[in-house]
Amino acid sequence: MASFVLRVLAVTLGLFFIFIGLLKLSPAISLDLYREMRKQYIRMAKVFPLMSFTAWRPNAHTYRKVIAATEVTCGLVLVFIPGPLKIAANVLMILVNVNDIIANYQIKDGYQRMSLPIVFVLLLTCRLMIYYQELQREKAQSIKPAEDSSSKCTSQEGVENREVNNEQESKKTK
């Protein structure tokens, strides 16, 4: 069940990130949304969250293109590529969305703009938690059969020891 939930979350989130990334990269899907994204990233570049640490502010158009390319790439990984790359894409998308939340908070856009990144951070975090729970369950199941077989050996050895002790006692009494 958990692997089904992981697949559904990965595909759904991946397709959404591909769509949003393409909206930021190209006006082919929607010219109005593309223009709105461009305006939004011009405002977001002015309050770049890492500017206080690096004293560097990115070009707004480059910033938008890098974030969009990251979203498309991570979306493709979430949809098509299994394994550790999917976890890395998940973590990277959490960081990108946290960046969006911080930038929207700093430009005082309100919760209307922040709500979507907040929801996606929660969904990506849930996906990560489900993945690690499934990993722990698999480890516990792989350890449990080994413990069961070792306990059976111990039980058999105990039975054999009792039989040997009984035989020795019966020899002594004769």
Q: Which of 95, 87, 97, 170 is nearest to 128 (CA)?
A: 87
Over residues 59-72, the pLDDT tens digits come to: 889 999 999 999 99
Buried b (16+ CB within 10 A) or exposed e, 70-87: bbbbbbbbbbeeeeeebe
Residue 154 confidence (pLDDT) above 80: no
Domain layout of the chain by residue ranges = 2-138
pLDDT tens per residue, range 70-96: 999 999 999 999 888 999 999 999 999
Task: With CA atoms as reference, report the closest residue to 66 among 95, 87, 90.
Answer: 95
Q: What is the pTM of this model?
A: 0.76
The answer on pLDDT for 2 being more than 80 is no
Q: Is the pLDDT of residue 6 over 60?
A: yes
Mean pLDDT of the chain: 84
Helices (H), 29-110: 31-46, 51-54, 60-80, 84-106
